[in-house]
Amino acid sequence: MAEKVVVSAEKLRGHCEGVLTKVGLRQTHAALVTDSLVFADLRGVGSHGVVRLSAYLDRVQAGVMEVDPEMALVRDNPASALLDACNGFGQVAGAKAMDIAIQKAGDSGAGIVAVKNSNHFGVAAFYAMRAVAAKMIGVVLTNASPAMTPYNARKRLLGTNPLAVAIPAGSQRPIVLDMSTSVVARGKIRLAAARPGEKIPLGWAVDADGKPTDNPLEALKGSLTPIGGPKGAGLSLVIDLLCGALTGTALTGEVKNITDTSGRSRTGHMFIAINVARFIEPHTFSHSVDSVIQGIKALPSADGMPVYLPGEIEFNLEARRREEGIPLAVEVMETLSRLGERHGVGRLSAEGMDAG
């Protein structure tokens, strides 16, 4: 197992925010991007956490991503809008778009904001939960670079195209579903590929010949496995059309990978906020959601382990990591330290080693 160190969330946040500010993001935007990355690491989604920072800055340095453009609404209607991210950070566009959707939902009952000309935005749950904070339901979609084949095809064309839905509760924690349309996010395979000799579970991906593989390097040359076979492939296609074709940003298969610095990413997103109060009395709804959660938690376990709700494992892990710190691979720690030195922030220090 790769050696890991432990870093507090606050120290990690301060370091990454400092680097992003030095690169040229205004402070509020640097804080927002950092919050998204640390949020992912706190919740155990390391593939979308601070490990992504160097790739973002590589894209900026290559001139294929803007540091901090003025994003603008190009279409604005009572319940919908289209935001042009102007090739800036996806996190900045995502938060702005969801906040506009929430405002429109307050006025119209529901708000839909699509985003064009964006970049990788981290984990979708980060934005869906902004709606929960406003006591609304949040739905988030985004497309991604080719990683899966359409059903029964041999060439990669579809992205892992995630879907997130966050539903507020009352006394219980919200339901937060955040899933890619592949069996696993490609970032997890990239993390495994960066660790010499590490294998991935069979069923995650196939190699270039379409055969199941446990070799992450071969998996990256091949295709990820869609959830539910044709169902996952179909869902990915639908999300891509909603985020790419509908926004006028890219056709299916045209989004560039985060590590590809040959051109603009051409990523599109969609954010939906649903105002619970326009459909039902909020207390009645929250009581109903609580009752469903409590009913599910009371069900007998199939294997003696707890019965979990969507997002519950991540909430538990976040609470623990806020207390104990975030484990980072030594290689990631060193990359962040080099970025800090390069931009005058200094090296990142750890609290200790990860006990595993």
Query: What's the pLDDT tens digit per position in 52-100?
Result: 999 999 999 999 999 999 999 999 999 999 999 999 999 999 999 999 9
Amino acid at 27: Q
Q: Which residues pair with 273 in a beta bridge?
A: 111, 138
Spatial separation of the C-alpha atoms in residues 142 and 258, rounded to whole Å: 14
3-class DSSP state of 158: strand
Distances (CA, A) of 223 to 153, 212, 232, 323: 11, 10, 13, 38
Spatial separation of the C-alpha atoms in residues 6 and 12, rounded to whole Å: 10
Average pLDDT, the chain: 95
300 burial level (CB within 10 Å; 0-12, 13-18, 19+)? exposed
Res 265: pLDDT: 98
For 88, the token pair is 């800036």
* In the block, residue with structure tokens 């507090």: 8
Res 356: pLDDT: 58
Residue pair 124/178 in contact (Cβ under 8 Å)? The answer is: yes
Q: Please, what's the b/e burial string for 170-183 (b: 16 or more CB within 10 A of its CB; e: otherwise)? A: bebebbbbbbbbbb
Residue pair 115/72 in contact (Cβ under 8 Å)? The answer is: no
Strands 352-353 and 72-76: unpaired
Sorted by sequence, the CB contacts under 8 Å of residue 115 that are 6+ apart come out as 82, 83, 84, 85, 93, 94, 97, 247, 268, 269, 270, 271
Q: Please, what's the b/e burial string for 86-121 (b: 16 or more CB within 10 A of its CB; e: otherwise)? A: bbbbbbbbbbbbbbbbbebbeebebbbbbbbbbbbb
Res 45: pLDDT: 95
Res 351: pLDDT: 82
Radius of gyration of the chain from its Cα atoms, rounded to whole angstroms = 20
For the chain, which ranges sit under pLDDT 70?
1-2, 353, 355-356
Residue pair 82/114 in contact (Cβ under 8 Å)? The answer is: yes
Spatial separation of the C-alpha atoms in residues 158 and 144, rounded to whole Å: 8
Helix (H) or strand (E) holding 163: strand 163-167
Distances (CA, A) of 10 to 14, 131, 147: 6, 24, 34
Chain length of the chain? 356
Res 322: pLDDT: 97
- Kindly tell me the sign of the dihedral angle through the C-alpha atoms of 270, 115, 160, 7: negative
